[in-house]
Amino acid sequence: MASVSWAEPVKIWISSQQDKIYYDNMVRLYQQVVDADFKAEVEAFGFREMPDKLAIAFKTQTNTPDIVQLDEVFFGMYLQGETPFVDLTDRVKAAGLDKSMMLQRLELFTVGDQVLGLPQSLSAVVIYYRRDLFQQFSLSPSEFKTWDDFMAIGEELAAENQPFLALDPSYFGILLRQRGGHLFSETGEVLPDFELAVETLEFMGELAQKRIGLMPDRATIFDPVFFGGDVANNEILAIMGADWYGLDMIQQFSSELEGEWGIMPLPVWTDEQGNPDSVRTSTFAGQGLVIYKGSDLIDESWEFMKFVMTNSEANAQRFLQGNSFPAYKPAFEDIRLLQPQPFFGYDSLGQILVDLAPEIPRVMMNSKRPMAVFMIREGMLSSVMYGEGDARSALRRFKDQLESGGGPPPGAN
Protein backbone atom coordinates (compact mmCIF):
# COMPACT_ATOMS: atom_id res chain seq x y z
CA MET A 1 0.00 0.00 0.00
CA ALA A 2 1.37 3.42 -0.88
CA SER A 3 2.38 5.68 1.95
CA VAL A 4 -0.05 8.52 2.55
CA SER A 5 0.20 11.22 5.20
CA TRP A 6 -3.12 12.20 6.77
CA ALA A 7 -3.66 15.50 8.48
CA GLU A 8 -5.69 13.93 11.27
CA PRO A 9 -4.91 10.69 13.16
CA VAL A 10 -7.39 7.84 13.22
CA LYS A 11 -9.07 7.99 16.64
CA ILE A 12 -9.51 4.54 18.18
CA TRP A 13 -11.61 4.10 21.32
CA ILE A 14 -10.84 0.95 23.30
CA SER A 15 -12.72 -0.42 26.31
CA SER A 16 -9.84 -1.61 28.51
CA GLN A 17 -6.27 -0.70 29.36
CA GLN A 18 -5.16 -4.21 28.39
CA ASP A 19 -6.56 -3.72 24.90
CA LYS A 20 -5.05 -0.24 24.66
CA ILE A 21 -1.60 -1.78 25.08
CA TYR A 22 -2.42 -4.23 22.31
CA TYR A 23 -3.70 -1.55 19.91
CA ASP A 24 -0.77 0.75 20.58
CA ASN A 25 1.39 -2.19 19.52
CA MET A 26 -0.79 -2.80 16.47
CA VAL A 27 -0.44 0.82 15.35
CA ARG A 28 3.34 0.43 15.46
CA LEU A 29 3.13 -2.87 13.60
CA TYR A 30 0.92 -1.30 10.92
CA GLN A 31 3.43 1.52 10.52
CA GLN A 32 6.23 -1.02 10.08
CA VAL A 33 4.39 -3.33 7.67
CA VAL A 34 1.95 -1.12 5.76
CA ASP A 35 2.40 2.63 6.11
CA ALA A 36 5.08 4.45 8.05
CA ASP A 37 3.04 7.66 7.90
CA PHE A 38 -0.09 6.16 9.48
CA LYS A 39 -1.16 8.08 12.59
CA ALA A 40 -3.57 6.97 15.28
CA GLU A 41 -4.61 7.97 18.78
CA VAL A 42 -5.72 5.10 21.02
CA GLU A 43 -7.83 5.99 24.06
CA ALA A 44 -9.04 3.53 26.68
CA PHE A 45 -12.27 3.82 28.64
CA GLY A 46 -13.87 1.50 31.14
CA PHE A 47 -15.90 -1.39 29.74
CA ARG A 48 -19.17 0.08 31.03
CA GLU A 49 -18.02 3.67 30.52
CA MET A 50 -17.83 3.32 26.74
CA PRO A 51 -21.58 3.66 25.98
CA ASP A 52 -21.76 6.92 27.95
CA LYS A 53 -18.70 8.33 26.18
CA LEU A 54 -20.16 7.40 22.80
CA ALA A 55 -23.56 8.85 23.64
CA ILE A 56 -22.03 12.22 24.51
CA ALA A 57 -19.75 12.24 21.46
CA PHE A 58 -22.56 11.30 19.06
CA LYS A 59 -24.97 13.82 20.56
CA THR A 60 -22.55 16.75 20.63
CA GLN A 61 -20.59 15.73 17.52
CA THR A 62 -17.49 16.64 19.48
CA ASN A 63 -14.35 14.50 19.62
CA THR A 64 -16.05 11.60 17.87
CA PRO A 65 -13.98 8.43 17.32
CA ASP A 66 -13.31 6.76 14.00
CA ILE A 67 -12.97 3.17 15.25
CA VAL A 68 -14.77 1.90 18.33
CA GLN A 69 -14.24 -1.35 20.20
CA LEU A 70 -17.62 -2.53 21.47
CA ASP A 71 -18.71 -5.61 23.35
CA GLU A 72 -21.39 -7.48 21.45
CA VAL A 73 -23.85 -6.77 24.29
CA PHE A 74 -23.40 -3.00 24.10
CA PHE A 75 -23.50 -3.18 20.30
CA GLY A 76 -27.18 -4.07 20.58
CA MET A 77 -27.91 -0.65 22.08
CA TYR A 78 -27.35 0.93 18.69
CA LEU A 79 -29.78 -1.21 16.72
CA GLN A 80 -32.92 0.82 17.40
CA GLY A 81 -33.46 3.21 14.53
CA GLU A 82 -30.65 4.12 12.18
CA THR A 83 -27.34 2.67 13.29
CA PRO A 84 -24.41 5.11 13.69
CA PHE A 85 -21.94 2.61 12.26
CA VAL A 86 -20.67 2.09 8.71
CA ASP A 87 -22.09 -0.77 6.65
CA LEU A 88 -18.99 -2.89 6.00
CA THR A 89 -20.68 -5.61 3.96
CA ASP A 90 -19.03 -4.92 0.59
CA ARG A 91 -15.62 -4.38 2.18
CA VAL A 92 -15.92 -7.59 4.18
CA LYS A 93 -16.79 -9.59 1.06
CA ALA A 94 -14.04 -7.98 -1.01
CA ALA A 95 -11.51 -8.93 1.67
CA GLY A 96 -12.88 -12.48 1.88
CA LEU A 97 -13.66 -12.03 5.57
CA ASP A 98 -17.16 -13.42 5.10
CA LYS A 99 -15.41 -16.74 4.47
CA SER A 100 -12.34 -16.47 6.71
CA MET A 101 -14.04 -15.23 9.90
CA MET A 102 -16.06 -17.63 12.07
CA LEU A 103 -19.59 -17.05 10.80
CA GLN A 104 -21.11 -17.51 14.27
CA ARG A 105 -19.01 -14.58 15.48
CA LEU A 106 -19.44 -12.38 12.41
CA GLU A 107 -23.22 -12.72 12.84
CA LEU A 108 -22.92 -10.96 16.20
CA PHE A 109 -22.16 -7.71 14.40
CA THR A 110 -24.53 -8.29 11.49
CA VAL A 111 -28.01 -6.80 11.30
CA GLY A 112 -30.20 -8.04 8.50
CA ASP A 113 -27.90 -8.16 5.49
CA GLN A 114 -25.51 -5.50 6.81
CA VAL A 115 -22.19 -6.36 8.44
CA LEU A 116 -21.53 -3.51 10.86
CA GLY A 117 -18.47 -4.78 12.70
CA LEU A 118 -15.70 -7.35 12.89
CA PRO A 119 -15.42 -9.75 15.86
CA GLN A 120 -12.15 -9.90 17.74
CA SER A 121 -12.60 -13.09 19.71
CA LEU A 122 -13.84 -16.64 19.45
CA SER A 123 -15.27 -16.35 22.99
CA ALA A 124 -15.69 -20.11 23.24
CA VAL A 125 -16.61 -21.29 26.75
CA VAL A 126 -14.69 -24.02 28.57
CA ILE A 127 -14.29 -25.14 32.18
CA TYR A 128 -11.17 -24.01 33.98
CA TYR A 129 -10.47 -26.45 36.80
CA ARG A 130 -7.96 -26.66 39.63
CA ARG A 131 -5.48 -29.46 38.93
CA ASP A 132 -4.24 -29.59 42.52
CA LEU A 133 -7.75 -29.89 43.94
CA PHE A 134 -8.74 -32.48 41.35
CA GLN A 135 -5.74 -34.51 42.48
CA GLN A 136 -6.70 -34.04 46.13
CA PHE A 137 -10.17 -35.46 45.45
CA SER A 138 -8.92 -38.12 42.99
CA LEU A 139 -10.79 -36.59 40.04
CA SER A 140 -9.97 -36.65 36.32
CA PRO A 141 -11.38 -34.41 33.55
CA SER A 142 -12.25 -37.58 31.61
CA GLU A 143 -14.94 -38.35 34.21
CA PHE A 144 -17.01 -35.31 33.19
CA LYS A 145 -18.41 -36.34 29.83
CA THR A 146 -22.01 -35.31 30.60
CA TRP A 147 -23.75 -32.90 32.94
CA ASP A 148 -25.24 -35.98 34.65
CA ASP A 149 -21.66 -37.05 35.44
CA PHE A 150 -20.96 -33.56 36.68
CA MET A 151 -24.01 -33.61 38.96
CA ALA A 152 -23.26 -37.07 40.39
CA ILE A 153 -19.64 -36.23 41.22
CA GLY A 154 -20.68 -32.82 42.49
CA GLU A 155 -23.09 -34.44 44.95
CA GLU A 156 -20.25 -36.61 46.28
CA LEU A 157 -18.10 -33.53 46.78
CA ALA A 158 -20.97 -31.67 48.45
CA ALA A 159 -21.26 -34.53 50.93
CA GLU A 160 -17.67 -33.67 51.90
CA ASN A 161 -18.63 -29.96 52.21
CA GLN A 162 -16.72 -29.11 49.03
CA PRO A 163 -18.58 -27.05 46.40
CA PHE A 164 -17.50 -27.83 42.85
CA LEU A 165 -18.40 -24.99 40.49
CA ALA A 166 -18.42 -21.23 41.05
CA LEU A 167 -21.81 -19.95 39.86
CA ASP A 168 -22.61 -16.76 37.99
CA PRO A 169 -25.82 -15.35 36.47
CA SER A 170 -24.16 -15.39 33.03
CA TYR A 171 -24.27 -19.19 33.10
CA PHE A 172 -27.97 -19.12 32.22
CA GLY A 173 -27.36 -17.78 28.72
CA ILE A 174 -24.23 -19.89 28.33
CA LEU A 175 -25.99 -23.15 29.17
CA LEU A 176 -29.10 -22.26 27.19
CA ARG A 177 -26.99 -21.62 24.07
CA GLN A 178 -25.07 -24.86 24.63
CA ARG A 179 -28.39 -26.72 24.47
CA GLY A 180 -29.39 -24.97 21.24
CA GLY A 181 -31.69 -22.43 22.91
CA HIS A 182 -31.71 -18.65 22.54
CA LEU A 183 -32.69 -15.52 24.42
CA PHE A 184 -34.21 -14.23 21.16
CA SER A 185 -35.36 -15.85 17.94
CA GLU A 186 -34.37 -14.56 14.51
CA THR A 187 -37.73 -12.77 14.38
CA GLY A 188 -37.24 -11.19 17.81
CA GLU A 189 -39.37 -13.46 20.00
CA VAL A 190 -38.17 -13.46 23.63
CA LEU A 191 -37.18 -16.91 24.94
CA PRO A 192 -38.50 -18.85 21.94
CA ASP A 193 -37.35 -22.07 23.62
CA PHE A 194 -39.22 -21.32 26.84
CA GLU A 195 -39.47 -24.85 28.23
CA LEU A 196 -35.79 -25.43 27.55
CA ALA A 197 -35.04 -22.16 29.34
CA VAL A 198 -37.07 -23.30 32.36
CA GLU A 199 -35.19 -26.61 32.50
CA THR A 200 -31.87 -24.79 32.24
CA LEU A 201 -32.64 -22.35 35.05
CA GLU A 202 -33.97 -25.20 37.19
CA PHE A 203 -30.66 -26.99 36.63
CA MET A 204 -28.77 -23.95 37.87
CA GLY A 205 -31.04 -23.77 40.90
CA GLU A 206 -30.37 -27.44 41.60
CA LEU A 207 -26.62 -26.87 41.44
CA ALA A 208 -26.95 -24.14 44.04
CA GLN A 209 -29.41 -25.88 46.34
CA LYS A 210 -27.36 -29.09 46.41
CA ARG A 211 -24.23 -27.05 47.13
CA ILE A 212 -22.59 -28.39 43.99
CA GLY A 213 -22.32 -24.79 42.87
CA LEU A 214 -21.32 -21.84 45.01
CA MET A 215 -22.53 -18.28 44.51
CA PRO A 216 -19.54 -15.95 45.15
CA ASP A 217 -19.81 -13.36 47.91
CA ARG A 218 -20.60 -10.61 45.40
CA ALA A 219 -22.66 -12.97 43.22
CA THR A 220 -20.27 -12.83 40.27
CA ILE A 221 -17.06 -14.42 39.01
CA PHE A 222 -16.08 -11.12 37.35
CA ASP A 223 -15.10 -9.32 40.55
CA PRO A 224 -11.44 -9.48 41.65
CA VAL A 225 -12.70 -10.14 45.19
CA PHE A 226 -13.89 -13.54 43.97
CA PHE A 227 -10.30 -14.57 43.26
CA GLY A 228 -8.98 -13.24 46.55
CA GLY A 229 -11.70 -15.10 48.45
CA ASP A 230 -13.34 -18.18 46.95
CA VAL A 231 -10.49 -19.09 44.61
CA ALA A 232 -7.61 -18.37 47.00
CA ASN A 233 -9.36 -20.26 49.82
CA ASN A 234 -9.92 -23.35 47.64
CA GLU A 235 -13.69 -23.06 48.03
CA ILE A 236 -14.36 -24.04 44.42
CA LEU A 237 -12.75 -26.51 42.03
CA ALA A 238 -13.85 -25.04 38.71
CA ILE A 239 -15.10 -21.97 36.85
CA MET A 240 -16.95 -21.78 33.54
CA GLY A 241 -15.65 -19.02 31.28
CA ALA A 242 -14.78 -17.87 27.76
CA ASP A 243 -11.27 -17.88 26.25
CA TRP A 244 -10.65 -14.26 27.30
CA TYR A 245 -11.61 -15.09 30.90
CA GLY A 246 -8.78 -17.62 31.12
CA LEU A 247 -6.28 -15.49 29.25
CA ASP A 248 -6.99 -12.31 31.18
CA MET A 249 -8.88 -12.59 34.46
CA ILE A 250 -7.68 -15.96 35.75
CA GLN A 251 -4.05 -15.24 34.95
CA GLN A 252 -4.25 -11.67 36.25
CA PHE A 253 -6.03 -12.37 39.53
CA SER A 254 -4.71 -15.85 40.42
CA SER A 255 -1.13 -15.61 39.19
CA GLU A 256 0.06 -17.45 42.30
CA LEU A 257 -1.75 -20.56 41.01
CA GLU A 258 0.26 -20.85 37.78
CA GLY A 259 0.44 -24.50 36.79
CA GLU A 260 -2.49 -25.45 39.03
CA TRP A 261 -5.19 -24.67 36.46
CA GLY A 262 -6.35 -27.01 33.71
CA ILE A 263 -8.88 -26.75 30.87
CA MET A 264 -11.63 -29.07 29.67
CA PRO A 265 -14.66 -28.79 27.34
CA LEU A 266 -18.12 -28.39 28.80
CA PRO A 267 -19.88 -31.66 29.64
CA VAL A 268 -22.63 -32.43 27.13
CA TRP A 269 -26.36 -32.56 27.77
CA THR A 270 -28.10 -35.86 27.05
CA ASP A 271 -31.51 -36.91 25.75
CA GLU A 272 -33.93 -39.21 27.57
CA GLN A 273 -31.98 -42.24 26.34
CA GLY A 274 -28.72 -40.87 27.70
CA ASN A 275 -27.29 -40.04 24.27
CA PRO A 276 -25.28 -36.83 23.74
CA ASP A 277 -27.66 -34.04 22.76
CA SER A 278 -25.56 -30.88 22.70
CA VAL A 279 -22.24 -29.37 21.69
CA ARG A 280 -19.27 -29.25 24.09
CA THR A 281 -18.95 -25.49 24.29
CA SER A 282 -20.93 -22.29 24.29
CA THR A 283 -20.10 -18.60 23.97
CA PHE A 284 -20.23 -15.51 26.13
CA ALA A 285 -19.65 -11.84 25.29
CA GLY A 286 -16.75 -10.83 23.05
CA GLN A 287 -15.76 -7.56 21.47
CA GLY A 288 -15.64 -6.27 17.93
CA LEU A 289 -14.55 -3.21 15.97
CA VAL A 290 -16.96 -0.80 14.28
CA ILE A 291 -16.44 2.43 12.32
CA TYR A 292 -18.43 5.54 13.13
CA LYS A 293 -20.54 6.63 10.17
CA GLY A 294 -19.60 10.28 10.67
CA SER A 295 -15.87 9.61 10.41
CA ASP A 296 -13.83 11.49 7.82
CA LEU A 297 -11.33 8.62 7.78
CA ILE A 298 -13.52 5.65 6.93
CA ASP A 299 -11.17 4.17 4.32
CA GLU A 300 -8.12 4.58 6.53
CA SER A 301 -9.99 3.10 9.48
CA TRP A 302 -11.08 0.12 7.44
CA GLU A 303 -7.57 -0.61 6.18
CA PHE A 304 -6.26 -0.64 9.73
CA MET A 305 -9.14 -2.83 10.96
CA LYS A 306 -8.64 -5.27 8.12
CA PHE A 307 -4.93 -5.48 8.92
CA VAL A 308 -5.56 -6.19 12.59
CA MET A 309 -8.05 -8.91 11.73
CA THR A 310 -5.98 -10.66 9.05
CA ASN A 311 -2.30 -10.14 9.82
CA SER A 312 -0.74 -13.27 11.32
CA GLU A 313 1.36 -11.35 13.83
CA ALA A 314 -1.63 -9.25 14.92
CA ASN A 315 -3.70 -12.40 15.55
CA ALA A 316 -0.88 -14.16 17.36
CA GLN A 317 -0.16 -11.20 19.61
CA ARG A 318 -3.81 -10.83 20.54
CA PHE A 319 -3.61 -14.31 22.03
CA LEU A 320 -0.05 -14.16 23.37
CA GLN A 321 -0.61 -10.80 25.08
CA GLY A 322 -3.52 -12.27 27.04
CA ASN A 323 -6.46 -10.65 25.25
CA SER A 324 -8.48 -13.35 23.49
CA PHE A 325 -8.38 -16.10 20.89
CA PRO A 326 -9.04 -14.75 17.37
CA ALA A 327 -12.13 -15.53 15.28
CA TYR A 328 -10.04 -15.45 12.07
CA LYS A 329 -9.86 -19.07 10.87
CA PRO A 330 -6.45 -18.94 9.13
CA ALA A 331 -4.95 -18.04 12.54
CA PHE A 332 -6.04 -21.45 13.84
CA GLU A 333 -3.04 -22.97 12.05
CA ASP A 334 -0.47 -20.67 13.67
CA ILE A 335 1.70 -22.90 15.86
CA ARG A 336 2.24 -20.01 18.27
CA LEU A 337 -1.43 -20.17 19.26
CA LEU A 338 -1.33 -23.94 19.78
CA GLN A 339 1.62 -24.24 22.16
CA PRO A 340 1.10 -25.84 25.59
CA GLN A 341 0.85 -23.17 28.27
CA PRO A 342 2.69 -23.52 31.59
CA PHE A 343 0.00 -21.51 33.39
CA PHE A 344 -2.57 -24.17 32.54
CA GLY A 345 -0.34 -27.10 33.47
CA TYR A 346 0.83 -27.32 29.85
CA ASP A 347 -2.66 -27.74 28.46
CA SER A 348 -2.98 -26.00 25.10
CA LEU A 349 -5.88 -23.58 25.39
CA GLY A 350 -5.43 -22.75 21.71
CA GLN A 351 -5.69 -26.36 20.54
CA ILE A 352 -8.73 -26.99 22.73
CA LEU A 353 -10.43 -23.90 21.29
CA VAL A 354 -9.61 -24.87 17.70
CA ASP A 355 -11.12 -28.33 18.33
CA LEU A 356 -14.27 -26.75 19.79
CA ALA A 357 -14.62 -23.93 17.24
CA PRO A 358 -16.92 -25.81 14.82
CA GLU A 359 -19.35 -26.41 17.70
CA ILE A 360 -19.70 -22.78 18.80
CA PRO A 361 -23.42 -21.92 18.85
CA ARG A 362 -25.01 -18.92 17.19
CA VAL A 363 -26.15 -15.85 19.12
CA MET A 364 -29.22 -14.02 17.83
CA MET A 365 -28.53 -10.28 17.98
CA ASN A 366 -31.44 -8.09 19.06
CA SER A 367 -31.84 -4.48 20.17
CA LYS A 368 -33.26 -5.78 23.47
CA ARG A 369 -30.28 -8.03 24.11
CA PRO A 370 -28.44 -5.42 26.23
CA MET A 371 -31.47 -5.11 28.49
CA ALA A 372 -31.81 -8.89 28.75
CA VAL A 373 -28.16 -9.34 29.71
CA PHE A 374 -28.39 -6.45 32.17
CA MET A 375 -31.46 -7.97 33.84
CA ILE A 376 -29.71 -11.33 34.17
CA ARG A 377 -26.53 -9.74 35.48
CA GLU A 378 -28.44 -7.69 38.05
CA GLY A 379 -29.94 -10.84 39.51
CA MET A 380 -33.47 -11.04 38.11
CA LEU A 381 -33.06 -14.82 37.82
CA SER A 382 -30.70 -15.31 40.76
CA SER A 383 -33.55 -15.78 43.24
CA VAL A 384 -33.94 -19.28 41.82
CA MET A 385 -30.36 -20.10 42.79
CA TYR A 386 -31.01 -18.80 46.30
CA GLY A 387 -34.11 -20.99 46.58
CA GLU A 388 -36.43 -17.98 46.76
CA GLY A 389 -38.52 -18.57 43.66
CA ASP A 390 -39.30 -20.98 40.86
CA ALA A 391 -37.73 -20.91 37.43
CA ARG A 392 -40.94 -20.74 35.44
CA SER A 393 -42.26 -17.69 37.29
CA ALA A 394 -38.90 -15.91 37.17
CA LEU A 395 -38.58 -16.46 33.43
CA ARG A 396 -42.18 -15.42 32.81
CA ARG A 397 -41.46 -12.09 34.55
CA PHE A 398 -38.22 -11.78 32.60
CA LYS A 399 -40.01 -12.42 29.30
CA ASP A 400 -42.94 -10.10 30.11
CA GLN A 401 -40.66 -7.22 31.10
CA LEU A 402 -38.60 -7.51 27.91
CA GLU A 403 -41.68 -7.75 25.71
CA SER A 404 -43.20 -4.67 27.39
CA GLY A 405 -40.10 -2.62 26.64
CA GLY A 406 -38.52 -2.70 30.09
CA GLY A 407 -36.24 0.27 29.55
CA PRO A 408 -32.63 0.61 28.56
CA PRO A 409 -29.75 -0.34 30.86
CA PRO A 410 -27.45 2.38 32.20
CA GLY A 411 -25.32 3.91 29.47
CA ALA A 412 -27.83 3.28 26.71
CA ASN A 413 -29.23 6.81 26.65
Q: How far is 360 from 307, CA to CA, in rounded Å?
A: 25
pLDDT score at 406: 57
**Per-residue pLDDT tens for 171-184?**
999 999 999 999 99
**Contact at 8 Å (CB) between 245 and 124?**
no
Domain assignment present for 406? no
Same domain, 202 and 272: yes
Tell me: pLDDT of 80 over 50. yes
Comparing CA positions, the residue from 313, 294, 399 lying closest to residue 26 is: 313
Domain assignment present for 261? yes
Tell me: pLDDT of 387 over 90. no
What is the residue range of 180's domain? Answer: 125-282+362-371
Same domain, 269 and 293: no
Q: How far is 170 from 166, CA to CA, in rounded Å?
A: 11
pLDDT score at 409: 44
- Confidence class for position 3, pLDDT limits 50, 70, 90: very low
Same domain, 198 and 171: yes
% of the chain at pLDDT higher than 70: 96
Tell me: pLDDT of 157 over 80. yes
Same domain, 47 and 169: no
* Total count of domains within the chain: 2
43 versus 77: which is more confidently predicted? 43
pLDDT score at 410: 42
Q: What is the layout of strands, in order, in the sheet containing 10-14? A: 40-44, 10-14, 67-71, 287-291, 118-119
% of the chain at pLDDT higher than 90: 83
Same domain, 142 and 259: yes
pTM attached to this predicted model: 0.93
Q: How far is 80 from 83, CA to CA, in rounded Å?
A: 7
**Per-residue pLDDT tens for 207-233?**
999 999 999 988 899 999 999 999 999
Same domain, 215 and 325: no
Same domain, 138 and 253: yes
Same domain, 156 and 303: no
Domain assignment present for 100? yes
Taking residues 359-374, report their average pLDDT.
Answer: 93
Same domain, 58 and 199: no
Tell me: pLDDT of 103 over 70. yes
pLDDT score at 260: 98
Three-class DSSP category at 130: strand
Domain assignment present for 62? yes
Same domain, 156 and 191: yes
Same domain, 185 and 37: no
Q: How far is 242 from 126, CA to CA, in rounded Å?
A: 6
pLDDT score at 49: 85
Residues in CB range of 220: below 8 A, 6 or more apart: 168, 169, 226, 377
Domain assignment present for 131? yes
- Which bin fits 52, alpha (ψ -120 to 50), beta or left (φ > 0)? alpha
Same domain, 256 and 311: no
Domain assignment present for 217? yes
Domain assignment present for 204? yes
Domain assignment present for 230? yes
Q: What is the CATH number of the domain that holds 223?
A: 3.40.190.10
Tell me: pLDDT of 102 over 90. yes
